[in-house]
């Protein structure tokens, strides 16, 4: 709730981003920049114009696992299979060292569009994603539940509370 109020969520896409940003570590890495860019306190920049269509809704920042995959494919020229393996490492919160097998491939491919230093920094950001990154489909699903729960709670508070209080979680009784 605090993040939603701080963000000034005004549409469903922003609600989905808020769900991704509340993951452990996200606010420490991209969250502050997202808020600053959204509020106009920081300029929105893109890694490269190739990435604009994939990061425009997140102010040029890579927040979702799918955006990591898109960077691997469109920026670094990796295959979708390789990108999915990178996503799997992130999604399963596996050991960051598993990224090592893909780092050189990513940096060399991305150097066609950005500097080696920028590619290495981006890869370092991906390593940080292993601790928190969320996929967009889950963020959208959670946001849909959040929206409907808030709607019901606001417009039908008595019915909502009755449903909550009468919901039995112990199926053995």
Looking at residue 106, its pLDDT comes to: 96
Average pLDDT of the segment spanning 77-89: 93
Residues of the chain above pLDDT 90, percent: 64
Average pLDDT of the segment spanning 89-109: 82
Average pLDDT of the segment spanning 124-130: 79
pTM of the predicted model, to two decimals? Answer: 0.85
The tens digit of pLDDT for each residue in 31-62 reads: 889 999 999 999 999 999 999 999 999 999 99
What SS3 string covers 13-68? HHHHHHHHHCCCCHHHHHHHHHHHHHCCCCCCCCCCHHHHHHHHHHCCCCCEHHHH
Looking at residue 96, its pLDDT comes to: 64
């Amino acid at each position: 709730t605090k993040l939603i109020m701080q963000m000034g969520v005004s549409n469903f896409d922003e609600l989905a981003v808020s769900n991704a940003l509340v993951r452990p570590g996200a606010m420490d890495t991209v969250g502050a920049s997202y808020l600053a860019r959204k509020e106009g306190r920081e300029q929105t920049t893109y890694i490269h114009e190739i990435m604009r269509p994939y990061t425009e809704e997140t102010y040029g920042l890579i927040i979702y696992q799918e955006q990591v995959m898109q960077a691997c494919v469109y920026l670094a020229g990796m295959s979708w299979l390789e990108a999915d393996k990178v996503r799997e490492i992130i999604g399963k919160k596996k050991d960051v060292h598993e990224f090592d097998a893909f780092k050189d491939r990513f940096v060399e491919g991305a150097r066609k569009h950005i500097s080696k230093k920028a590619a290495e920094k981006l890869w370092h950001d991906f390593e940080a994603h292993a601790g928190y990154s969320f996929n967009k489909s889950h963020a959208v699903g959670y946001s849909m539940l959040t929206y409907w729960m808030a709607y019901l709670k606001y417009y039908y508070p008595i019915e909502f509370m009755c449903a909550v209080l009468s919901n039995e979680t112990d199926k053995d009784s």
